[in-house]
Amino acid sequence: MDHKVTSEIFSKLMERLPVVWDGKEAILFMRDNGCSNWRQMEWPGWYFQFMCESLLGWDGFFAIPGPSYGNVEFDGFRGIPWDFKAHSATLGDKVPTNGYYEVQCALNDFGEVGFIIACGDIELDDENQSFKKWHDDLKGKTSAYELERIQRGAPSRRRKVRFILRRIEFVFVNQSNLSTCGSFQGGMRNSDGTPRNPKVMLDLNNPWLEKHVYEVE
């Protein structure tokens, strides 16, 4: 992929993408601007996806959404299918992405798939889970995910309350390097017992992947 392309995308995003994402502000922004995913616990990823769709798609720079394969839809399209992800460095270097089968289908059609990954630092909720309580109150009811967790007796994970953007990485998968990517949730099952679709796992340190990195000042 030409660096001119990724540089243009990065510049377009950073014209209006905040560097510090406050959880409450981001969730309210999504809710008030028609994003159906404002209730999601992992709000940084949904916020970044929503911002990419808005900033890259409003003037037709990107086609939003991208192509679909079965029930899986790529987030955008400009020459190739693209997906938008947010990732915290504190969680390691591996980023779960789209279904393995769907990525392979996209490669058959377009030769390459691009991932735009917002990498940054996170701050977590306090011990009293004040942010979680605020979000639960805003949603107005307990989610099916939360009810299932309570039924299992599993502890509640501390929520992310802030995301500080450090860099944006553009990572490209093609027919030659797909085999060097790992997979995620292969062999796992959904709560109803059906098998989960294995997903492509990107290792940001994988030397076989083409990667363009732009630091955020």
pTM, entire model: 0.89
- Asked if the structure places residue 208 within a domain, the reply is yes
Q: Which residue do the tokens 């916020």 mark?
A: 47
The answer as to whether 104 is a domain residue is no
DSSP state of 63: B
| Residue 199 belongs to a domain | no
Mean pLDDT of 63-78: 95
Q: pLDDT (tens digit, 9 = 90+) per residue, 116-133?
A: 999 999 999 999 999 999
C-alpha distances in Å from residue 8, one per residue of 4, 5, 61, 211: 6, 5, 10, 15
Domain assignment present for residue 101? The answer is no
Q: At residue 152, does pLDDT exceed 50? A: yes
72 found inside a domain = yes
For residues 152 and 209, the model is more confident at 209
Residue 144 has pLDDT above 70, yes or no: no
Q: What integer pLDDT is reported at residue 183 of this predicted model?
A: 83
State the CB neighbour count (10 A cutoff) for residue 3. 11
User: For residue 70, what are its two tokens?
Assistant: 């079965």
Written as one letter, the residue type at 153 is G
Range of the domain at 127: 3-94+111-179+204-215
pLDDT for position 195: 56
Which residues contact residue 66 at a Cβ distance below 8 angstroms, ignoring those fewer than 6 apart? 73, 74, 75, 76, 77, 81, 82, 83
User: How many structural domains is the chain composed of?
Assistant: 1
Tokens of 194: 């059906």
What is the distance between the alpha carbons of residues 14 and 99, in angstroms, rounded to a whole number? 28
Q: Is residue 129 part of a domain?
A: yes
**pLDDT value at position 190?**
47
pLDDT at 77: 98
- Whether residue 145 is contained in a domain is answered as yes
Q: What is the pLDDT of residue 41?
A: 94
Which ranges in the chain belong to alpha helices (H)?
3-14, 23-32, 43-57, 100-110, 130-139, 144-152
**Would you state the structure tokens that stand for residue 208, as one six-digit string?**
């076989």
- Let me know: does 82 contact 66? Beta carbons within 8 Å: yes
Distance CA 73, CA 136 (A): 28
Q: List CB contacts of 215: < 8 A, sequence separation 6 or more.
A: 166, 167
Rg (the chain; Cα; Å): 18
Q: Give the C-alpha separation, 35 to 208, whole Å.
A: 35
Closest to 80 in 3D by CA, of 2, 184, 169: 2
pLDDT greater than 70 at residue 103? yes
Look at residue 195 and tell me if it is in a domain. Answer: no
Q: Tell me what pLDDT residue 1 has.
A: 84
Identify which of 43, 9, 7 has the alpha carbon closest to the alpha carbon of residue 26. Answer: 43
Under the banding of pLDDT at 50, 70 and 90, the label for residue 217 is: confident
Q: In the predicted model, what is the mean pLDDT of the chain?
A: 90
Q: Is the pLDDT of residue 87 over 90?
A: yes
